[in-house]
Amino acid sequence: MRTAQPAQWRAAPDRYTWRQRSVFLAGAPLIVLGLLGSKTEFAYFAAPALAAQQQVAGPGADYFLTIPDRQWRVVERGTLYPDTDIELVNRTSGEWVVVRISPSQQQSLDGFVDQRQALVAANWNDYEMQETRRFADGSDNIPMSLARYSYKGPLTSRDSPLLVATVLTPERVFEVVSHAGNLANASAAQLVESFRLAAGGNES
């Protein structure tokens, strides 16, 4: 008659060295941040801080904007939208501003404003528009439209209110598009209104 022998217990082999474990533990917070963070937040923190009243411009230096407070940063183009000339983000107030440049194709300012309004209407079924016009800063006769779109639908929109400054030169159209916050520290409107053509900004 055979008697059953108890199986000999053996500790599982150590699969990781202490060095590997320390690398994993050190990298765990970064992994968590990667899962929780967004592309915009990473771009924001990677960008250098700006000073209040500092002037920033796109690659061509055809225009410049004046930073209203220290919460704004210039992020990499394409972070928010494609085909932008410059992108700015204020993480504290949740606001953003982008500038787009396109050929004017001999269209009128009314035509560009109507195109933007049609695009807003395609996304918001109920909205209110307020528009003012003046000459763009840095020019004597370059027209500028300042339009504010406010969503009035039953569900709130994260992009309301939307501010759009449109500047039409003989060769190009500059559009400064922004989501402006409603908080007390909101400053996107100041940034949009600070748009100024540089010398030669009305040339091709």
Walking along the chain (204 residues) 10 residues at a time, the average pLDDT comes out as: 52 59 55 54 87 95 95 94 95 93 91 94 92 89 94 78 94 94 86 89 51
Q: What is the pLDDT of residue 105?
A: 84
pLDDT of residue 45: 86
Say what the pTM is.
Answer: 0.76
pLDDT value of residue 122: 92
Contact 85, 59 (CB under 8 A): yes
What pLDDT sits at residue 17? 67
Residue in this structure with the two tokens 């520290």, named with its chain if needed = 185
- pLDDT at residue 36 in the model: 39
**Ranges of H-type helices in the chain:** 18-36, 39-46, 109-123, 188-193
